[in-house]
Amino acid sequence: MMDGPRGQERAGRPILFALALAAAIGAAALAISGGFYVRMLGFRVSSHGGLRPALFSVLFAIIAYRRMPVWQQGTVERQVTDGGRRLLPWIAPVAAALVLGLCFGYGTRAAGGSDSYGYVSQARLWLTGDLRVHQDFVASVPWPNADRSFTPLGYRPAERHTLVPSYAPGLPLLMALFLKVGGSCGPFVVSPLSSALLILLTAVLGSYVSGRATGALAALLTATSPTILMMSLWPMSDVPAAAFWMLSLVLAWQRSSFTAAVLSGISAGMAILIRPNLAPLAVFPGGMVAWRAAAETGAPAQRLMPFALACVPFVVLVAWVNHNLYGSFLTSGYGEASSIYHWQNLWANLHRYPRWLWESQGPYVFASLFAVAIPPGPKPESRFLRWILIAYIATVFGCYLFYRPFDDWWYLRCVIPAMPAMFVLSIDAIWQGVRRFGWRVQGMTAAIFTALSLSHAIGYTRLHAVFDIGDGEQKYADVGRYLGRDLPPETVVITGLHSGSIRLYGHLRTLRVDLLDGAWLDRAIDHLKSEGPSPYLVLEGSEIPNFRERFANQKAVTLVDRPAVAVHSRHVYVYSTDSLRSGDPEIIPHTAGCK
C-alpha distances in angstroms, 238 versus 36, 325, 418? 34, 23, 11
* CB neighbourhood size of 330 (10 A): 11
- Predicted TM-score (pTM) of the model is 0.88
> Burial of 260 by CB count in 10 Å (0-12 exposed, 13-18 middle, 19+ buried)?
buried
Q: Is the pLDDT of residue 37 over 70?
A: no
Give the whole-angstrom CA distance, residue 119 versus residue 466: 21
| H helix or E strand, kind and range, residue 587 | strand 586-587
Task: Answer for the pair 359, 227: CB distance below 8 angstroms, yes or no.
Answer: no
Strands 586-587 and 566-568: parallel
Task: Answer for the pair 315, 269: CB distance below 8 angstroms, yes or no.
Answer: yes
Q: What is the DSSP letter of 436?
A: G
Residue 532 CA to chain centroid, in angstroms? 42
Q: Is the pLDDT of residue 374 over 90?
A: no
Kindly indicate the confidence band of residue 390, based on its pLDDT and cuts at 50, 70 and 90.
very high
Q: Is the pLDDT of residue 191 over 70?
A: yes
Give the whole-angstrom CA distance, residue 46 versus residue 104: 31
The residue ranking higher by pLDDT, 30 or 182, is 182
Give the whole-angstrom CA distance, residue 473 versus residue 479: 11
> For 216-259, how does the pLDDT look when each residue is reduced to its tens digit (9 = 90+)?
999 999 999 999 999 999 999 999 999 999 999 999 998 878 99
C-alpha closest to that of 421 among 198, 255, 191: 198
Looking at residue 566, its amino acid is A
Question: Which residues have a Cβ under 8 Å from the Cβ of 205 and sit 6 or more positions away?
Answer: 215, 218, 246, 249, 250, 253, 420, 421, 424
Looking at residue 263, its amino acid is L
Looking at residue 97, its amino acid is A
Average pLDDT, the chain: 87
Q: What is the DSSP letter of 162?
A: E
Task: Answer for the pair 116, 165: CB distance below 8 angstroms, yes or no.
Answer: no
C-alpha closest to that of 219 among 453, 432, 470: 453
The pLDDT of residue 39 is 53
C-alpha closest to that of 198 among 248, 260, 235, 240: 240
Average pLDDT over residues 422-434: 87
Q: Can you list the positions of beta strands (E) in 426-521?
A: 492-495, 509-512
Bin 151: left if φ > 0, else alpha if -120 < ψ < 50, else beta.
beta
Give the ranges where 238-345 is alpha helix by DSSP (H): 238-252, 258-274, 283-296, 301-326, 337-340
Kindly indicate the confidence band of residue 27, based on its pLDDT and cuts at 50, 70 and 90.
low
Q: Is the pLDDT of residue 95 over 50?
A: yes
Task: Answer for the pair 398, 284: CB distance below 8 angstroms, yes or no.
Answer: no
Residue 390 CA neighbour count, 13 Å, CB half = 17
> For 511-539, how does the pLDDT look when each residue is reduced to its tens digit (9 = 90+)?
999 999 999 999 999 999 999 999 999 99
> For 471-494, how does the pLDDT look when each residue is reduced to its tens digit (9 = 90+)?
999 999 999 999 999 999 999 999
β-partners of residue 14 are none
Strands 36-40 and 43-47: antiparallel
> For 327-355, how does the pLDDT look when each residue is reduced to its tens digit (9 = 90+)?
998 888 888 887 889 999 999 999 999 99
Task: Answer for the pair 405, 352: CB distance below 8 angstroms, yes or no.
Answer: yes
C-alpha closest to that of 149 among 528, 549, 486: 528
Question: What is the dihedral sign for C-alpha 94, 97, 102, 105?
Answer: negative
Looking at residue 72, its amino acid is Q
> For 105-163, how does the pLDDT look when each residue is reduced to its tens digit (9 = 90+)?
999 999 988 999 999 999 999 999 999 999 999 999 999 999 999 999 999 999 999 99
The pLDDT of residue 56 is 61
Q: Is the pLDDT of residue 369 over 80?
A: yes
Q: Is the pLDDT of residue 192 over 90?
A: yes
Kindly indicate the confidence band of residue 1, based on its pLDDT and cuts at 50, 70 and 90.
very low
Helix (H, G, I), strand (E, B) or coil at 313: helix
Cα angle: 346, vertex 352, 353; to 5 degrees: 90
Kindly indicate the confidence band of residue 456, based on its pLDDT and cuts at 50, 70 and 90.
confident
Task: Find the Cα–Cα–Cα–Cα dihedral 255, 257, 260, 261, rounded to 10°.
Answer: 120
Question: Which residues have a Cβ under 8 Å from the Cβ of 36 and sit 6 or more positions away?
Answer: 30, 46, 47
Sequence spans of domains, the chain: 4-68, 115-167+470-587, 187-464
Task: Answer for the pair 504, 121: CB distance below 8 angstroms, yes or no.
Answer: yes
Kindly indicate the confidence band of residue 184, based on its pLDDT and cuts at 50, 70 and 90.
very high
Q: Is the pLDDT of residue 280 over 50?
A: yes
Average pLDDT over residues 253-280: 94
The pLDDT of residue 151 is 97
